[in-house]
Chains A and B, each alone.
Chain A
């Protein structure tokens, strides 16, 4: 699919490392702590991206994938 603002071409050079780090971030956390850590991560990244159009599009795609 094509997107308007969000870059979806492969950009992570060490993708396996990043993926592992995402999972590792939650090690030994209970469900509530994990939810909090995810929220902190999303807020930090949202501010880094700093573009509401990019974020809106990413959120739409993220949700659509779950509800459809």
Chain B
């Protein structure tokens, strides 16, 4: 347990289910209270779906573990509640330095695009993220988080999944309509089901250390290839909240993990790196190896879904573990909600599998490439790596090839069966399947953000112009779409105040024109956005029949 922060420990509490005499049925059970399972449970409970979250232990992550939370993940946290607190606690950085041997090869500024609420990513210890999510979940009436509840048996029946749960007070059973498994890389439930996650094991070991110090290191990411204080290997230094620095040392496959994790081995390594005269405390140490692998399917049966590390694992370079897991459940939860309510076809649940398997493959590809650069597997591979680093000092083109982890970007579900293909010409990145881009806007005279206006139901975003007013036919079309999709949210985005808008539409002023620019919009352009804030269809003019068809398609409902 880290010393820099007193992590909470949670009490086992007896559930009425344990005294019910027969297994109690729940619409959704989530297994694993890490960032992924917690996000799933929060999203479900917010939508009014009673959810039971089971965790075999009773605390948060020991050590910092997943420290980089990417923009898209923060946007999901904003949607389900809690993003602001994490950004305030976390460290936002945009400068990095790359060293090769005894000198700096180059430094970079990520120069993030202006006009987004969230930065490219923050550094925040996983235990803080979990603690904040647990507090958020506790505030929701439909959530039931049960610590020290270990699933030890699982049977799939036609009418539900029966779980045998072991507690400190003995065993009980419960039944779930749907089961979301987010119990981590070793996934006991995957083993219970006799399923496998297949891929490549990387023959390398890494030492990770959380170190507390008052050093005046700038808030930058430093990456060393083959440094004098750790020859032949790589080292990464990141700053986190509370003056905790995270250091990752590559050790090589021959290293003995039991020896290397001893403080008397770790402290000299850190001292060699920081230099004499820097006071530090060792907060937490771990040794890890990693794999790049995934399960064949993430929907493994009619009622069972795997998410996060349980479903897919990547190397840590590029921060694609927790980030992709949170994006998994962002994708899954609204689909479960629709199907439970009889408003989505069963194939909607299959689209979780196809969309997130494709996203996992993209993450595995990117992180495998980073790993091959950081730990070359052959003399030739090493020669190319070293040559790239040497050239990077002189030539900007080679800097683009240096790969110490690529920025984790959300997947674009361009091939999703839920999308309605474009029938008009559009430029830019907001293709069907893309996660919506943010933009600074004004609502009711207050500064706001476009993503905050989208909410988490189907949203129709109509672009208009203040001089011409709301495009003709929009009021009528929205009425016809609302008759089909009762909780549709409607935004009218314009350069200023706009007249003639549908009742209940949110008027979104786009004073800088950035929303219109990012969505390649003209007055009359319409976007249909999924409850997880991905674009699913768009047109140059409003047509209720086409919108209704697109909603049906996006919910896998037969026309």
* Interface residues in chain A, defined as those with a beta carbon under 8 Å from any beta carbon in chain B: 32, 35-36, 38-40, 42-44, 47
| 13 intermolecular pairs with C-beta atoms under 8 Å apart | A32-B379, A35-B379, A35-B380, A35-B383, A39-B383, A39-B386, A39-B387, A39-B388, A40-B390, A40-B391, A42-B387, A43-B391, A47-B395
Nearest residue in A to B400 (C-beta to C-beta)?
A: A47
Residues in chain B near residue A42, CB distance under 8 A:
384, 387
Interface flag for B472 (CB, 8 Å): no
Assess whether B383 is in contact with A44, with CB atoms less than 8 Å apart: no
Assess whether A47 is in contact with B397, with CB atoms less than 8 Å apart: yes
Question: A45 CA to B214 CA in the complex, in Å?
Answer: 46
Residues in chain B near residue A38, CB distance under 8 A:
383
Interface flag for B401 (CB, 8 Å): yes
Contact digits for B358-382, partner A, Cβ 8 Å, 1 yes 0 no: 0000000000000000000001100
Residues in chain A near residue B380, CB distance under 8 A:
35, 39
Nearest residue in B to A41 (C-beta to C-beta)?
A: B387
Known A39-B383, A43-B387, A47-B398; further 13 A-B contacts with Cβ < 8 A: A35-B380, A36-B383, A36-B386, A36-B387, A39-B386, A39-B388, A40-B390, A42-B384, A43-B391, A43-B398, A44-B391, A47-B395, A47-B397
Residues in chain B near residue A32, CB distance under 8 A:
379, 383
Question: A42 CA to B387 CA in the complex, in Å?
Answer: 10
Question: A32 CA to B384 CA in the complex, in Å?
Answer: 11
Question: A38 CA to B401 CA in the complex, in Å?
Answer: 17
Question: A35 CA to B391 CA in the complex, in Å?
Answer: 15
Residues in chain B near residue A47, CB distance under 8 A:
395, 397-398
Question: A44 CA to B387 CA in the complex, in Å?
Answer: 10
Contact digits for B386-407, partner A, Cβ 8 Å, 1 yes 0 no: 1110110001011001000000
Q: What's the nearest-Cβ distance from chain B to residue A11, in Å?
A: 23
Residues in chain A near residue B384, CB distance under 8 A:
39, 42-43
Nearest residue in B to A35 (C-beta to C-beta)?
A: B383
Question: A36 CA to B388 CA in the complex, in Å?
Answer: 10
Q: What's the nearest-Cβ distance from chain B to residue A49, in Å?
A: 12
Chain B: residues with Cβ within 8 Å of the partner, total of 13
Question: A39 CA to B389 CA in the complex, in Å?
Answer: 11
Nearest residue in A to B381 (C-beta to C-beta)?
A: A39
Question: A38 CA to B382 CA in the complex, in Å?
Answer: 12
Q: Do most interface residues of chain A lie in helix, strand or loop, or is the interface mixed?
A: helix
Question: A19 CA to B397 CA in the complex, in Å?
Answer: 26
Nearest residue in B to A36 (C-beta to C-beta)?
A: B383
Q: What's the nearest-Cβ distance from chain B to residue A31, in Å?
A: 9
Q: What's the nearest-Cβ distance from chain A to residue B364, in Å?
A: 21
Residues in chain A near residue B401, CB distance under 8 A:
43
Residues in chain A near residue B388, CB distance under 8 A:
39, 43
Residues in chain A near residue B397, CB distance under 8 A:
47
Residues in chain B near residue A40, CB distance under 8 A:
387, 390-391
Nearest residue in A to B396 (C-beta to C-beta)?
A: A47
Question: A44 CA to B395 CA in the complex, in Å?
Answer: 9
Q: What's the nearest-Cβ distance from chain A to residue B358, in Å?
A: 22
Q: What's the nearest-Cβ distance from chain A to residue B257, in Å?
A: 30
Question: A30 CA to B386 CA in the complex, in Å?
Answer: 16
Pick the most buried of B380, B384, B388, B398: most chain A CB atoms within 10 A of its CB: B384
Q: What's the nearest-Cβ distance from chain A to residue B172, in Å?
A: 58
Residues in chain B near residue A36, CB distance under 8 A:
383, 386-387, 390
9 tightest Cβ-Cβ pairs between the two chains A and B: A39-B387, A35-B383, A39-B383, A40-B387, A47-B397, A39-B384, A36-B383, A43-B387, A36-B387
Nearest residue in B to A37 (C-beta to C-beta)?
A: B387
Q: What's the nearest-Cβ distance from chain B to residue A25, in Å?
A: 13
Q: What's the nearest-Cβ distance from chain B to residue A2, in Å?
A: 29
Residues in chain B near residue A43, CB distance under 8 A:
384, 387-388, 391, 398, 401
Residues in chain A near residue B390, CB distance under 8 A:
36, 40
Residues in chain A near residue B386, CB distance under 8 A:
36, 39
Q: What's the nearest-Cβ distance from chain B to residue A47, in Å?
A: 5
Q: What's the nearest-Cβ distance from chain B to residue A27, in Å?
A: 18
Nearest residue in A to B380 (C-beta to C-beta)?
A: A35
Question: A21 CA to B222 CA in the complex, in Å?
Answer: 39
Question: A28 CA to B388 CA in the complex, in Å?
Answer: 22
Question: A35 CA to B378 CA in the complex, in Å?
Answer: 12
Q: What's the nearest-Cβ distance from chain B to residue A48, in Å?
A: 9
Nearest residue in B to A50 (C-beta to C-beta)?
A: B397
Question: A35 CA to B387 CA in the complex, in Å?
Answer: 9
Question: A40 CA to B390 CA in the complex, in Å?
Answer: 8
Q: What's the nearest-Cβ distance from chain A to residue B397, in Å?
A: 5
Pick the most buried of A32, A38, A42, A43: most chain B CB atoms within 10 A of its CB: A43
Q: What's the nearest-Cβ distance from chain B to residue A52, in Å?
A: 13
Residues in chain A near residue B383, CB distance under 8 A:
32, 35-36, 38-39
